[in-house]
Structure 1
Amino acid sequence: MNSFDINRFGRALRWMISVNFRSLLMWTLGLTLGVAMGELMVRAMIQTTTPQETHTTGILGGFFVVYIIIGVVVGICNLFVELDKKPRRQAFLMLPATNLEKFLAATVFATVSGFVMMHLSFIVGDTLRVVFRALFYGDSWNSFVFPEVVKMMTFDGISSYHSLGYRLMSLAFLVSGLVWLHSFYTLGGTLFRKYAFVISSIVLVAGITAFVWFKRHHGGSMFYTYYTADVMEEGVGAMTYVLTAFFAVFSFVNYWLSFHIFKGFELITNKWMNYDFYK
């Protein structure tokens, strides 16, 4: 079993789904109720001082953008968290599939399940809040928050009013950045056995802080748009090309390291990591 086989990959993925389905369902139900109750409480508190519907929706929309992003990356970081116990870890490692097929099955499951869980819990919870407020308080049936969230998560750089070159570079930067972020948290979730999201996020924040400091003291522009005599001028700075190349190269490096660490998985590991660096 040296070559990749889609059927073996599918069976490994089904195993991941069957083992994690119950806990995933419980988390989704719990988050759905949390979203509904949270929206009800926040809306009630905000409307006592600011009765405008659009203002309240905007505040909730901004909060749930962060909610979805954090939830998805937590899901990516927890790609092997259900394999912490020895019997389940042993069953996974003994699946009739190659290391690559098992690694891809775990990665795909963690990514898709986290994405679906966060979006589904938010949309259903938001709908429950709308139904409850409409039935008991007479609010509008069209006071959903998720259209505002979609609008906030839309990247302006790929909008049609920009030039083609600007949009293409914006799209390349966006895609490479998202892939790198996914690879970074995949590496953290593969390497660390505990607190993978916390440790990875601390490293990420430290890196962003260092980049902002460097950019502030040494210059370097990215995307810029300004108006001269009502004429829009726009351009892409050299820093954008550097970062896009960085994201592309280190996405590959992160995935390669993640797979290398996964191939070294053992039934018994130390308390903090899935890989023994001294073997």
Structure 2
Amino acid sequence: MENFNITRFGQALKCHVLVSRKSWIRLYGIFTLVMFMANLFWTRLQGIPYDEMVQCWPSDISMHYDRNIEQSVVFGFIFFCISMLFGASGMFAQMKDTRKRSAYLLWPVTNLEKYVISVLLAIFLVAFITFGAFVTADALRVLVDWATGRIIIWGIPHLSDPFSGMAISPWQLSFMVFTLVLHFHSVYMLGGTLFRRQQFLFTSIVILVFSISLTLILNQIDWSGVTFEPFKGNFNMETSQMEYVFYPSFYVCLGISWLFIVFHYWASYKLFTRMQVINNKWLNV
């Protein structure tokens, strides 16, 4: 089987989801619990107590309490980013056990189909589970607020706040943020394919060590005669808006980043095709 067959791919995807559904349900429960406890922290333990808000701002209680809700939504965004990296690094976590590894590698589908299935689950299913956990946690927090006599403010509408800010910013900045997020995702996906155990932890350690080493090396270089400014922003007092100027080096950096992204995904697939039942204890080589 050398060719990609869409019918066989669909059946294999359905089979993979059904076989691993218990793990996905458990992950959904853990994510919901974490975000629900975080919601309670931001609305009940952090900041000004609710009773003092009612006493100090009886007519503006909704505005002040909404700020606590916004903080819980910010945590939800951070947790979503971490969960996506966790999903990328753990897309082959089911291959730790030798028996499961043997069954997965002997699956009657091509390597490309297996890899695409793992990528789709690591991206879309993890994103769906995280979003569902956020909605459930927000609903539970609203239920607790209603049961304790607080005003009802949903956090779900605040999910559009960051995107409304990106909509009015230059497309270059939005594309830069997207590139940065995708770059980290590709790195964690490569680490998830390379490491056999503790993929998220080891990938994070490698990134940390590499960042510290690169910083130490760059600090040893004399940059006094070098100016590197990919873009700059100036605040226009007349329009009360930021005006950005993007230099050619900005687009060069974006192009290099996309080359690294493509290389990381390609290297991840090549490592997957070289996996064997008996590999190194810590590495999939």
Name which of 235, 239, 244 aligns with 1:234. Answer: 244
Separation of aligned partners in 2, 1:79 and 1:155: 32
Q: Which amino acid aligns with 1:182?
A: H
Aligned to 1:68: 80
What 5-or-longer segments of structure 1 have no aligned partner?
none
Q: How does 1:1-279 map to 2 (within 5 A)?
A: 1-46=1-46, 47-48=48-49, 51=53, 52-134=64-146, 136-141=147-152, 143-152=153-162, 154=163, 156=165, 158-160=166-168, 162=169, 166-167=170-171, 169-206=172-209, 210=214, 219-231=227-239, 232=241, 233-275=243-285
Pick which of 100-109 and 31-40 moved more.
Answer: 31-40
Query: Could you state the TM-score of these two structures normalised by the residue count of structure 2?
Result: 0.82
Offset of 1:22 from its aligned partner? Answer: 0.6
Separation of aligned partners in 2, 1:243 and 1:146: 35
Preserved CA contact (<8 Å) 1:64 1:149? no
Offset of 1:31 from its aligned partner? Answer: 2.3
Offset of 1:184 from its aligned partner? Answer: 1.3
Q: 1:120 to 1:17 in 2, by over 3 A?
A: same
Preserved CA contact (<8 Å) 2:42 2:71? no
Pick which of 170-179 and 13-22 moved more.
Answer: 170-179
Preserved CA contact (<8 Å) 2:89 2:191? yes
Offset of 1:193 from its aligned partner? Answer: 0.9
Pick which of 209-218 and 253-262 moved more.
Answer: 209-218
Preserved CA contact (<8 Å) 1:221 1:238? no
Offset of 1:225 from its aligned partner? Answer: 2.6
SS in structure 2 at match of 1:235: strand
Separation of aligned partners in 1, 2:151 and 2:266: 51
Offset of 1:245 from its aligned partner? Answer: 0.8
Offset of 1:228 from its aligned partner? Answer: 4.1
Whose Rg is larger?
2
Preserved CA contact (<8 Å) 2:187 2:264? yes
Separation of aligned partners in 2, 1:44 and 1:234: 40
Preserved CA contact (<8 Å) 1:220 1:237? no
Identity of aligned residues (%): 24
Preserved CA contact (<8 Å) 1:223 1:237? yes
Q: 1:172 to 1:48 in 2, by over 3 A?
A: closer
Q: Which amino acid aligns with 1:31?
A: F
Separation of aligned partners in 2, 1:258 and 1:92: 17
Separation of aligned partners in 1, 2:113 and 2:244: 45
Q: 1:191 to 1:242 in 2, by over 3 A?
A: same
Separation of aligned partners in 2, 1:246 and 1:212: 22
What 5-or-longer segments of structure 2 have no aligned partner?
54-63
Preserved CA contact (<8 Å) 1:220 1:238? no
Separation of aligned partners in 2, 1:147 and 1:237: 36
Preserved CA contact (<8 Å) 2:84 2:185? no
Deviations along 1:222-269, one digit per CA (max 9) or x if unpaired, are 443323442553212444313211221111111111111111111122
SS in structure 1 at match of 2:134: helix
Pick which of 206-215 and 9-18 moved more.
Answer: 206-215
Q: Which amino acid aligns with 2:19?
A: V
Offset of 1:203 from its aligned partner? Answer: 3.2
